[in-house]
């Protein structure tokens, strides 16, 4: 479905944005694997619905590197969920940490997530963005699979199947999936949810910056004390013209 008549200079995996938009999640994934091969990685936060992408990808590419940024501030339930899914799917897990430990950071900088938006963003750059960029560089990755979906937040509503984020190609196989699609995939494959789902969490990150969804809240307000939705890992996508 994805392959169209190749133009001069294109690879056999060439596909237009329109073709990728029409494709299924599995077709997008197979395209990404064919197009980028060993230059492709998957990221996971072991969040609420992480099992979907981990299951889908490892069925096709069990050895694909799976990058997990461990800030040192994750919920105990997240670490246990990570252990469960790593064993279940046989993940080729690549755990990456900030250069400074949580204790070191707090001794020098204080609790930055309590010091306003500017300090929160500095915290995110050190604990999430820099480690992920380092992992991409160390793994020689040119393309990055992510489970982002348009329905998750207003900040993700305009996501495309394939985008450019700085020097890395971002590929979102399930970008157009609804909550119902996610639920049905999980049920069909008997995939476990994150343990905190039962406690009202719809998104999970660091314990100090994540809250359960309560009456009157939007999902965006459950992260970073409502100051912002994104941690920085998926921001600053380039909008310049480029060829897939």
Choose the catalytic residue: 40, 74, 231, 244. 231
Q: Is 111 left (phi over 0), alpha (psi -120 to 50) or beta?
A: beta
Residues in the chain: 244
DSSP H helical ranges for 74-178 = 76-89, 102-109, 117-124, 130-138
C-alpha angle with apex 178: 173 to 182, nearest 5 degrees?
70
Under 8 Å between Cβ of 136 and 40 = no
Q: Which two tokens stand for residue 240?
A: 């310049």
Catalytic residue at 231? yes
H/E segment holding residue 55:
helix 50-60
Under 8 Å between Cβ of 139 and 67 = yes
Sign of the torsion formed by the C-alpha atoms of 225, 226, 228 and 230: positive
d(CA 242, CA 244): 7
Any idea which residue has 């294109």 for tokens? 10
Hey, which residues are catalytic here? 231
């Amino acid at each position: 479905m994805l392959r169209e008549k190749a133009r001069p200079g294109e690879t056999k995996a060439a596909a237009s944005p329109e073709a990728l938009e029409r494709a299924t999640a599995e077709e997008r994934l197979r395209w990404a694997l064919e197009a980028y091969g060993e230059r492709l990685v998957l990221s996971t936060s072991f969040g609420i619905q992480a099992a979907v992408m981990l299951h889908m990808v490892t069925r096709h590419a069990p050895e694909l590197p799976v990058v997990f940024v461990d800030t040192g501030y994750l919920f105990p339930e997240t670490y246990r969920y990570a252990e469960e899914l790593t064993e279940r799917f046989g993940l080729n897990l690549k755990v990456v940490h900030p250069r400074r430990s949580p204790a070191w950071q707090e001794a020098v900088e204080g609790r930055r997530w309590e010091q306003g938006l500017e300090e929160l963003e500095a915290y995110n750059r050190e604990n999430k963005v820099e480690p992920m960029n380092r992992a991409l560089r160390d793994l020689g990755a040119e393309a990055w699979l992510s489970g982002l979906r348009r329905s998750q937040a207003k900040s993700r509503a305009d996501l495309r199947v394939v985008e450019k984020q700085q020097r890395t190609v971002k590929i979102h196989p399930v970008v157009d999936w609804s909550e119902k699609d996610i639920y049905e995939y999980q049920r069909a494959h008997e995939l476990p949810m994150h343990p905190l789902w039962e406690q009202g969490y719809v998104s999970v990150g660091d314990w100090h910056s994540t809250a359960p969804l309560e009456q009157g809240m939007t999902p965006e307000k459950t992260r970073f004390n409502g100051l912002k939705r994104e941690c920085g890992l998926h921001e600053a996508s380039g909008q310049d013209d480029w060829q897939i």
